[in-house]
Structure 1
Amino acid sequence: MRKDVHVGRDRMNRLTRPFEAILAIGVAGLLWALACIPIITIVPATTAMYAVMTSWTLDGPPPVWSTFWGAFKKHFWQALGIGVILEVVAVILAVDVTFGFRAENAPLRTVVLVVAVVLTIGLAGMMVFLFPVMTTYPSPWRRTLRNSALFAAGYVGTTLLGLGVFALAVVAIYFAPASLPVTAGLAAYVITILTKRAFAKYAARQEAAEPATA
């Protein structure tokens, strides 16, 4: 009888886990949307949402409310500073791209345009890893940005897949704006899965390299 009870509970857990996951993703996305309302809190809110996703285990999602707001407070100032840096860089790149397209007779126009486009792609790729790195490997902001860029360059396949997820999310939100919270949460969930695989490969390489250097 006890075995039957345990088997029944396991089956019930397997049936309810997908619904639990969907609910957690939706709630995390909703909290993210609410926390983004002041605008300047977009990066801290995104960091908190990714903290929920990176805290996910095989047993299921973490307590969404406490995990989200705990990470929001913990990473607030660092995330806010990184957000300012990214905003400044994005504005500079936007100006350079605009200059490259419109200044037809300007010297070095092509060079400026090519460099700006390459840096924009690099920045977008870094964004795939930025929030998972911030929540998985907490460190000072310079190291966080550097590690995000290194992971993006070292795991190009993951970076491209992450950019594809971003693109699909943008398209979904464009055609269905009301889906913003769920779409944002789902995108963060998928990207977290992708980056966790990259982190696992990195950890395996580090472990394999340790005996050789010992």
Structure 2
Amino acid sequence: MKLSLDSPVMEKAEGIADIIIAGFLWLIFSIPIITIGPASIALYYTVAKVCRRKRDTVWHAFLHAFKINLKQGIACTMIYLLYLSVIIFYFYITFENAGQGNPMLLLAGILLVVPFLFTLLYIFPVISRFGGSLGKMFQYAFHMSMRYFPVTI
């Protein structure tokens, strides 16, 4: 059997290689913690476009998406980092002051964590696919997390 560049095996191998390259680009661009958001947006955009053959190269698609979404992605990352620090501080104070922890305070902490985790799964793909204000993107992400609740869990 002759392997040509247009064979289905080579096309699949090229697609897998593109995804691996996009993953390495995400890793490199995520080294400064503040750029995890834009890098995640660019990763989703790149995988969606390059693997469907709508963009030319992984590098160009990734950089294009990273540049376009840098400002909004950093703002989103900062919001999540701030929210995460509030959650960590809440649990620290709760367990330091109450010993083993009051069940009601623990429940309140869990209620703080749920929207954080649910929207975190969807916010970066939503920003990648749709345009609009950051508040609207959070609404879309929360709506999607509720709409696809079994998948979210």
Mapping for residues 39-78 of structure 1, pairs under 5 Å? 39-56=33-50, 58-59=52-53, 63-78=57-72
2:121 counterpart of 1:157: no
Kindly tell me the number of residue pairs found equivalent between the two proteins: 152
Partner of residue 121 from structure 1, selected from 103, 114, 126: 114
Unaligned runs of 5+ in 2: none
2:125 counterpart of 1:136: no
Conservation of the 8 A alpha-carbon contact between 1:54 and 1:132: no
Structure-1-length-normalised TM-score: 0.63
2:116 counterpart of 1:104: no
Identity across matched positions, percent: 22
State the Cα deviation string for residues 145-168 of structure 1 (Å, max 9, x = none): 1110110011112212xxxxxxxx
Partners of 2:5 and 2:74 lie apart in 1 by 44
Unaligned runs of 5+ in 1: 1-7, 161-214
Equivalent residue, structure 1, for 2:28: 34
Deviation, structure 1 residue 33: 1.3
TM superposition outliers: structure 1 runs of 4+ over 6 Å: 8-11
Equivalent residue, structure 1, for 2:73: 79
Equivalent residue, structure 2, for 1:18: 12
Equivalent residue, structure 2, for 1:88: 82
Structure-2-length-normalised TM-score: 0.85
SS across alignment from 2:34: coil
Partners of 1:43 and 1:147 lie apart in 2 by 17
Letter in 1 for 2:37: V
Partners of 1:42 and 1:32 lie apart in 2 by 8
Letter in 2 for 1:140: S
Deviation, structure 1 residue 131: 1.2
Deviation, structure 1 residue 15: 1.1
The root-mean-square deviation of aligned C-alpha atoms, in Å, is 2.7
